[in-house]
């Protein structure tokens, strides 16, 4: 029988702000540990295995892998390093939180030029709260604009600041001792790390990542696990395979887990009450590199995958049937943004290339999503075929919609809203602390954008040549349609990042858009003639030949009022000459709205029709006269 008793473990999560190089570093760690065969073609960022992850170039789900270093443990034992790669985008913060429940320490990557940014603060704060040791690694030292020493100081200052704000005194003390740990300098892309500063713009003077492996081994504690104790293993992630069904990723905290074993399965219900049943581990797997392979036994301290329990959930404990002890539930930060998702109710439903159209299918899919996605919540609405879905941010929700769209769903998606709360009788909304870096020439424009969104400036400082960093506190509501405007106004130069600043009293009205919608007043086919005639009214999202319907938003106006137009009008042909003359008119190219843009642009009384082949913006109330009446009623009510 295979045994793990002659191996040593270290469990580590790689955390950082978005794009600071986590996945690239994990690639290099895998490559240098022989995880890929000699002649195997390896894609870059192998851990970003999801389709959307590859397209967007970001990590969305936390994933674990394992690296075996032969003879690198005590007395020549093998060392197994379980590595959790986490996402850096703020919307997927829940993934980081649950990733931390698997590990005994973290490597905090900080980009050598950008320095600590909002998500650096978030992940570092979470690691310190969990009393985990943090190894600071300044990454991308090769960047020509690197400023390594400054970045080290900024990161250590951030660590001290966060340590002093911890309520738990033991955690605060533990945090301060972290400053004595060695700082690593790395270029993940070059696969090199060292404890010596290579100088700005240089690759570390090392052969490989050995220095990183050494520091990991020395600094991270050996999992404090009692191999001979009763079994306690907690489910920290879920996956599925067509062959094995649901797979639970578990961290074994005590005892050992064997293939075929009967265990006590402790499951928390929605009220947080534990229920215990017995279950059998039909398959037990260990991950090495990107491969999962069957194994007979996994001991305390390790991370493994189990199959055989179809209703397994994140946070569940697998325990000794004679002595069932439950781990506490995994709790993550609350969602701040919500929107409705329902069946496609447009007159063109079913013609967008989808085959999953019914309320029953949408409901089942949303329920399935809840199983693996701890940051999401789903609730009922007034309509039986629409649900309210809450997530951390717009991106988290748009990723869900995009995934469903690719699976063949046709949907109606409402405008993203903030999740409000009543605190001490007062209506409150989520706020964000926003850090904006921009060339000074756009400072005025940014100030204006933030003023419209009820942002309060907290600080402003010049840094580098002609760059300014502005910090704001702003209602999350103001950020829903922020990104496109911000990038346009700063000509693509601005960088904006934010983290949650908690709930504060409702900030009053924020005007969500300065342009109105051009709305189709009838069903039919969009014509070249109509588009040419109406060209001066605004910018269009449609092209000749496309289908339209009453209430379909076909463009945006130059002023802030909606207009209804006949976009299907045909020219009466009087003679051949004028017909050929028309054909020479060139139309401005239609603006093709992506799902994210449509969600961002969507006005209060609008929603988005989503299907595999199309994304259309539309009015919630399609009929023009009913819409007029509703508008009138809303005005009367103030
Ligand atoms: N110059 C330089 N660029 C790097 C280095 N490591 C990664 N990059 C680049 O940085 C970008 C982001 O790399 P990723 O590894 O995807 O970053 P990440 O932290 O995993 O990003 P998220 O998972 O989305 O938070 C890519 O374009 C990489 O090629 C490095 O050592 N030096
Ligand atoms: Mg990544």
Give tens-digit pLDDT for 439-487. Answer: 899 999 999 999 999 999 999 988 766 888 899 999 999 888 787 788 8
pLDDT number for residue 1: 38
69 and 79 in contact (C-beta within 8 Å)? yes
228 and 285 in contact (C-beta within 8 Å)? no
Angle at CA of residue 422, ends 417 and 427, nearest 5°: 65
Max distance between CA atoms of the chain, in angstroms, equals 95
Domain 333-413+513-638 top-level CATH class: alpha beta
Q: Which atom of ligand 1 is nearest to the CA of 24?
A: 15
Model confidence at 182: pLDDT above 60 = yes
Model confidence at 576: pLDDT above 60 = no
State how far the Cα of 391 lies from the Cα of 337, in Å rounded to an integer.
5
Give bridge partners of residue 418 from the DSSP assignment.
Answer: 337
State how far the Cα of 550 lies from the Cα of 556, in Å rounded to an integer.
16
Which helix (H) or strand (E) element contains residue 607? strand 606-611
234 and 313 in contact (C-beta within 8 Å)? no
pLDDT number for residue 487: 82
pLDDT number for residue 227: 82
Range name among 15-24, 87-96, 123-132 with the lowest pLDDT average: 87-96
The arithmetic mean of pLDDT across residues 173-180, rounded, is 86
State how far the Cα of 88 lies from the Cα of 85, in Å rounded to an integer.
10
The arithmetic mean of pLDDT across residues 163-187, rounded, is 88
Token couple for 346: 């447009």
Give tens-digit pLDDT for 398-436. Answer: 889 999 999 999 999 999 999 999 999 999 999 988 888
Q: Is the CB of 552 under 6 A from ligand 1?
A: no
Cα 123 to ligand 2 centroid, rounded to whole Å: 14
CATH number of 4-219: 3.40.50.300
Q: Which atom of ligand 1 is nearest to the CA of 187?
A: 31
The arithmetic mean of pLDDT across residues 572-601, rounded, is 71
Same fold: 333-413+513-638 with 421-505: yes
Write the DSSP symbol of residue 358: S
CATH topology of domain 421-505: Alpha-Beta Plaits (3.30.70)
Token couple for 287: 């991950």
Ligand nearest to the CA of 89: 1
Per the model's pLDDT, the better-predicted residue between 550 and 482 turns out to be 550
Write the DSSP symbol of residue 356: B
State how far the Cα of 35 lies from the Cα of 57, in Å rounded to an integer.
22
pLDDT number for residue 3: 52
Mean pLDDT of all residues in the chain?
88
Domain ranges of the chain: 4-219, 232-319, 333-413+513-638, 421-505
pLDDT band at 358 (very low <50, low <70, confident <90, very high): very high
Ligand nearest to the CA of 44: 1
Range name among 130-134, 135-139, 348-352, 478-482 with the lowest pLDDT average: 478-482
- Which residues are CB-neighbours of 55 under 8 A, at least 6 positions away? none
Q: Is the CB of 192 under 6 A from ligand 1?
A: no
Q: How far is CA 307 from CA 41, 235, 248, in A?
A: 30, 11, 7
Give tens-digit pLDDT for 486-531. Answer: 888 888 788 887 777 889 999 998 877 778 999 999 999 999 999 9
State how far the Cα of 161 lies from the Cα of 172, in Å rounded to an integer.
10
Token couple for 116: 């600590």
Angle between helices 118-129 and 93-100 (to 10 degrees): 30
Which helix (H) or strand (E) element contains residue 156? helix 148-164
Model confidence at 226: pLDDT above 90 = no
The arithmetic mean of pLDDT across residues 238-244, rounded, is 77
Cα 60 to ligand 2 centroid, rounded to whole Å: 8
pLDDT number for residue 256: 92
- Nearest residue (CA) to ligand 1, atom 30: 140
Q: Is the CB of 47 under 6 A from ligand 1?
A: no
Q: Is the CB of 189 under 6 A from ligand 1?
A: yes
Model confidence at 2: pLDDT above 50 = no
Give tens-digit pLDDT for 116-125. Answer: 988 898 899 8
Model confidence at 232: pLDDT above 60 = yes
- Nearest residue (CA) to ligand 1, atom 24: 58
pLDDT band at 638 (very low <50, low <70, confident <90, very high): low
Range name among 1-15, 83-97, 360-374 with the lowest pLDDT average: 1-15
Q: Is the CB of 32 under 6 A from ligand 1?
A: no
Token couple for 567: 């976009």
Model confidence at 5: pLDDT above 80 = no
Q: Is the CB of 45 under 6 A from ligand 1?
A: yes
The arithmetic mean of pLDDT across residues 314-326, rounded, is 91
CB neighbours of residue 508 within 10 Å: 7
Cα 100 to ligand 2 centroid, rounded to whole Å: 16
CATH of 232-319, one of 2.40.290.10, 3.40.50.2020, 3.90.280.10, 2.40.30.10: 2.40.30.10
**Number of residues in the chain:** 638
Model confidence at 198: pLDDT above 90 = yes
| Of the candidates 595, 519, 509, the residue with the CA atom closest to the CA atom of residue 562 | 519
């Amino acid at each position: 029988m295979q045994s793990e008793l002659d191996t040593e473990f270290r469990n580590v999560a790689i955390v950082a702000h978005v794009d600071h190089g986590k996945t690239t570093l994990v690639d290099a760690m895998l490559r240098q540990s022989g995880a890929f065969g000699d002649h195997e073609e390896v894609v870059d960022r192998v851990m970003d295995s999801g389709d959307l992850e590859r397209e967007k170039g970001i990590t969305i789900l936390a994933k674990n892998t394992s690296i075996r270093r032969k003879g690198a443990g005590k007395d020549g034992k093998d060392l197994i390093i379980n590595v959790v790669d986490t996402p850096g985008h703020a919307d997927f913060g829940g993934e980081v939180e649950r990733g931390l429940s698997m590990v005994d320490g973290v490597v905090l990557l900080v980009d050598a030029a950008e320095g600590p940014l909002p998500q650096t603060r978030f992940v570092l704060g979470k690691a310190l709260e969990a009393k985990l040791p943090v190894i600071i690694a300044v990454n991308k030292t090769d960047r020509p604009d690197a400023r390594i020493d400054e970045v080290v100081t900024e990161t250590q200052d951030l660590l001290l600041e966060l340590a002093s704000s911890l309520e738990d005194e033991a955690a605060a003390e533990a945090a301060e001792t972290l400053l004595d740990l060695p700082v690593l300098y790395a270029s993940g892309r070059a696969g090199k790390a060292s404890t010596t500063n290579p100088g700005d713009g240089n690759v570390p003077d090392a052969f490989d990542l050995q220095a990183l492996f050494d520091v990991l081994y020395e600094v991270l504690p050996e999992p404090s696990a009692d191999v001979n104790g009763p079994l306690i293993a907690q489910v920290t992630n879920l996956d599925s395979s067509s062959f094995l069904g649901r797979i639970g990723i578990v961290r074994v905290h005590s005892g050992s887990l064997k293939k075929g074993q009967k265990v006590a399965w402790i499951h928390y219900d929605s009220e947080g009450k534990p229920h215990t049943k017995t279950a059998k581990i039909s398959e037990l797997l260990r991950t090495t590199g990107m491969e999962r392979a069957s194994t007979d036994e996994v001991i305390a301290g390790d991370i493994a995958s189990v199959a055989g329990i179809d209703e397994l959930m994140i946070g569940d404990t697998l325990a000794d049937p004679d002595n069932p002890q439950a781990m506490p539930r995994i709790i993550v930060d609350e969602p701040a943004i919500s929107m409705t998702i329902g069946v496609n109710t447009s007159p063109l439903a079913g013609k967008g290339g989808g085959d999953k159209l019914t309320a029953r299918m949408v409901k089942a899919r949303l329920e399935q999503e809840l199983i693996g996605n701890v940051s999401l919540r789903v609730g009922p609405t007034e309509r039986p075929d629409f649900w309210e879905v809450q997530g951390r941010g717009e991106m988290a929700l748009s990723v869900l919609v995009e995934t469903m769209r690719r699976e063949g769903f046709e949907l109606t998606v409402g405008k993203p809203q903030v999740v409000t709360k009543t605190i001490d009788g007062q209506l409150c909304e989520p706020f964000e602390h926003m850090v904006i870096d921009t060339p000074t020439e756009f400072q005025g424009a940014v100030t204006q954008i933030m003023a419209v969104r009820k942002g309060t400036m907290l600080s402003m400082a010049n840094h580098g040549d002609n760059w300014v960093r502005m910090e704001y506190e702003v209602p999350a509501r103001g950020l829903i349609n922020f990104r496109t405007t911000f990038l346009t106004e700063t000509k693509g130069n601005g960088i904006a990042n934010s983290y949650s600043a908690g709930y504060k009293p409702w900030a009053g009205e924020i005007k969500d858009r300065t342009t109105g919608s051009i709305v189709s007043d009838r069903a039919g086919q969009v014509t070249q003639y109509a588009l040419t005639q109406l060209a001066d009214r605004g910018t269009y999202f449609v092209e000749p030949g496309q289908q339209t319907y009453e209430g379909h938003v076909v463009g945006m106006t130059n002023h802030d009022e909606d207009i209804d137009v006949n976009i299907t009008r045909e020219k009466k042909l009087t003679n051949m000459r004028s017909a050929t003359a028309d054909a020479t008119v060139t139309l401005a190219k239609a603006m093709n709205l992506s799902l994210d843009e449509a969600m961002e642009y969507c006005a209060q009384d609008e929603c988005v029709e989503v299907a595999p082949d199309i994304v259309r913006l539309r009015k919630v109330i399609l009929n023009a006269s009913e819409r007029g009446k509703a508008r009138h009623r809303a005005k009367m009510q103030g």
